[in-house]
Amino acid sequence: MSQYFSLLLVLFILCVASSNSISAKVVDVDIICKEASNPTYCSNLLNSKSRGAKGVDLVDLAQYTIDVLNDNSSRAYDLMKNLMDIAENDTVASYYYRCDTDFLDTDSFLISLRDAESNLHIGKYPAMAKESADIMQYLLDCIRSLHQHETSTLLAKYVDDLRQGAQVLQIISKYLNLGK
């Protein structure tokens, strides 16, 4: 009797282990980055993950990308706030304020990024894809505002780096949805 129990236990463990390995979807970084507007940026971003990105599943790549976006958004936001404080007049400050609302409003880049991360953690990949599209829209709105007026080229670069990272997140979201 204990022999059968042991055999059943081993079979159960093997089934659980194999189902976990099936659910962890891995897509090569080159395939992901081929879809990016700047494949080099994408590759540098994903391969900058400690221990590299080779063989890393999509959920881990998405989390890493979200972490990088969070870190980089702090740098961009701090510069934006500084530029608003030292702006020569209200008109110039308003250009930065437009991006400020895209970053921090109740419907904003950072809120959507937080929601994308939450949806990633609970496996709601379609909702995560929607949030990543919203992230991209907020960043494009900010970029448009910065390009319509002569503003800080450094801030424009920071926000464009965020846009490229958000695009990587969108691509990863697409692959996560394909695996569902």
Q: pLDDT tens, 160-177?
A: 999 999 999 999 999 999
Which has the higher per-residue pLDDT, 159 or 53? 159
CB-CB contact of 161 with 72 (8 Å): yes
158: pLDDT strictly greater than 70: yes
In a domain, 5, yes or no: no
Return d(Cα 63, Cα 136) in angstroms, integer. Answer: 17
Chain-centre distance for alpha carbon 16: 30
Model confidence at 95, pLDDT cuts 50, 70, 90, reads confident
* pTM higher than the cut 0.85: no
Q: For residue 16, tell me if it sits in a domain.
A: no
Structure tokens at 98: 């437009």
pLDDT value at residue 19: 37
Distances, alpha carbon 13 to alpha carbons 3, 67, 115, 125, 135, in Å: 15, 33, 34, 27, 40
Nearest to 99 by CA among 143, 37, 58: 143
* Domain containing residue 133: 26-178
In a domain, 4, yes or no: no
Q: Distance (Å, rounded) from C-alpha 145 to C-alpha 151? A: 9
CA distance 72 to 61: 16
Say how far apart CA 165 and CA 160 lie, in whole Å: 9
Spatial CA neighbour of 43 closest among 152, 164, 156, 138: 164
Residue % of the chain over a pLDDT of 70 = 86
Question: Is 174 part of a structural domain of the chain?
Answer: yes
Q: What does the pLDDT average to over 145-155?
A: 84
Q: What is the mean pLDDT of the chain?
A: 85
Please state, for a pLDDT cut of 90, what percent of the chain lies above it.
59
Distance between CA atoms of residues 115 and 131, nearest Å: 7
Output the pLDDT for position 133: 96
Q: What is the pLDDT of residues 44-72, one digit of tens each?
A: 999 998 887 788 899 999 999 999 999 99
Close Cβ partners of 29 (under 8 Å, ≥ 6 residues apart):
42, 43, 46, 47, 53, 54
The CATH number for 164's domain is 1.20.140.40
User: Encoding tokens for residue 133?
Assistant: 């599209």
Report if residue 14 sits inside a domain: no
Q: Is residue 54 part of a domain?
A: yes
Task: Examine residue 20 and state whether it is found in any structural domain, yes or no.
Answer: no
Number of domains in the chain: 1
